[in-house]
Amino acid sequence: MSTHDLYTIPAELSTWDVEAAGAARFTWEYDDGRDRMLALYQKGKDKQWDSVKRIDWSLEVDPYNVLGVPDTTIAIHGTPLWDRMDEKQRKDVRLHNAAWQFSQFLHGEQGAMICSARIVESVPELDSKFYAATQTMDEARHAETYARFLQEKVGLAYPINTHLKALLDSTLSDSRWDMPYLGMQVLIEGLALAAFGVMRDITTKPLPKQILSYVMQDEARHVAFGRMALRDYYRQLTEAELREREDFVIEGCYLMRDRLRGRETWETIGLSRSEVAQAMECVDQSEYLRLFRSLLFSRIVPCVKDIGLWSPRLQQAYADMGVLDMAGQNLEALMKQDEDIAERLDAERFAAEEAGRHAEVAETVAMGADS
């Protein structure tokens, strides 16, 4: 089935053309490069995996309860609008919310694939080109995985959100080689990584937990890549050049915050204009979603600080968003946690499969003895 057949809202075009700017840079310096970057490149090679084999696609998913979380996580739960809905409408809310969220993950991963390919093309250093090439493969695998999940398990999809599209457009159309790093590695990937983490930790369903955990294992490396490259480069920039990057970060963070509101889901499920307005008010006032939005900046804010964009003006923007306290998050500890959770999930799955094989062999032996 074509993905276009799954879209709740018709996608504008079969393809979206972004006029890219900037130069393709070759380098004839094939020395060893930076040790940290090459170690990350080696890790990128070692950690490649196949979504067809590593993920257990035989696991069932209820499209009306994809994550297996209580309805209290829905913004309108407990309101007169929710109370007026019958069970079919409530099932539609659950389905469309999940479809919208995973659709944006999918589109973001394609954006990450294109941005990392742009980094290969435009970054001056060879060690960065090497790592970005492994990331391009990672992002292709992630897009493949989310597309399959939506097609086979959810059965519904949404086009790219306008706010995500705007940030991708400004990231890819900028001629400066560091902007794909800043827009994708720091902002889009940072927010996605935190969103994946929240959903990974609350889901009670094994298939989405596998997908989110394994994707996060890769994404943690990608954010580390952006930090390394930009921290080195931004030390060389003038105050005016740093201010331009800060302007981009501030605008991008507001776009990412607004992207999370998901207005199009409420418009699609058949609510009246006044009901959509009520739903959006609930989204903005929901304590659960307020906490969720705050947690989504747990990777972005400390990363922005780490790369050297930390003027009082930028700090004030984060204070206005209510996420300034995220600057104290330990990125290294969060990355290690992401790695450990994926490895532990693998160990638990393979141990269970091995135990099942032993039990099957023992049963076969016992049947043979009885005969």
pLDDT tens digits along 150-195: 999 999 999 999 989 998 999 999 999 999 889 988 898 888 888 8
Structure-token match 């389905």, residue found:
95
Helices 189-202 and 331-370 cross at an angle (nearest 10°) of: 40
E-strand ranges in the chain read none
- For residue 22, pLDDT over 70 is answered with yes
Q: What's the confidence (pLDDT) of residue 356?
A: 59
Give yes or no for residue 352 having a pLDDT over 80: no
What pLDDT does residue 205 have?
A: 96
Q: What is the pLDDT of residue 43?
A: 92
Instruction: With a cut of 90, say whether residue 370 has pLDDT above it.
Output: no
∠ at Cα 180 (177, 184), nearest 5°? 160
The string of pLDDT tens digits covering residues 8-21 is 877 766 678 887 77
Q: How many Å apart are CA 138 and CA 222, to the nearest integer?
A: 9
The single-letter DSSP state of residue 157 is B
Q: Choose between 258 and 314: higher pLDDT.
A: 314
Q: State if pTM tops 0.75.
A: yes
Please choose, from the candidates 303, 297, 288, the residue with its C-alpha nearest in 3D space to the C-alpha of residue 319.
297
Confidence label for 7 from pLDDT (cuts 50, 70 and 90): confident
How much is the pLDDT for 212? 97
Higher pLDDT, 125 or 4: 125
pLDDT tens, residue by residue, 58-76: 999 999 999 999 999 899 9
Supply the pLDDT for residue 191: 85
Q: What is the pLDDT of residue 284?
A: 87
What is the per-residue burial (b if ≥16 Cβ within 10 Å, else e) of 296-329? Answer: bbbbbbbbbbbbbbbeeebeebbeebebbebbeb
- Average pLDDT over the chain reads 89
pLDDT band at 367 (very low <50, low <70, confident <90, very high): low
User: What are the boundaries of each domain within the chain?
Assistant: 3-14+34-370
What CATH code would you report for 3-14+34-370? Answer: 1.10.620.20
pLDDT digits (tens, 9 = 90+) for 117-137: 999 999 999 999 999 999 999
Across 272-287, average pLDDT:
91
pLDDT at 189: 86
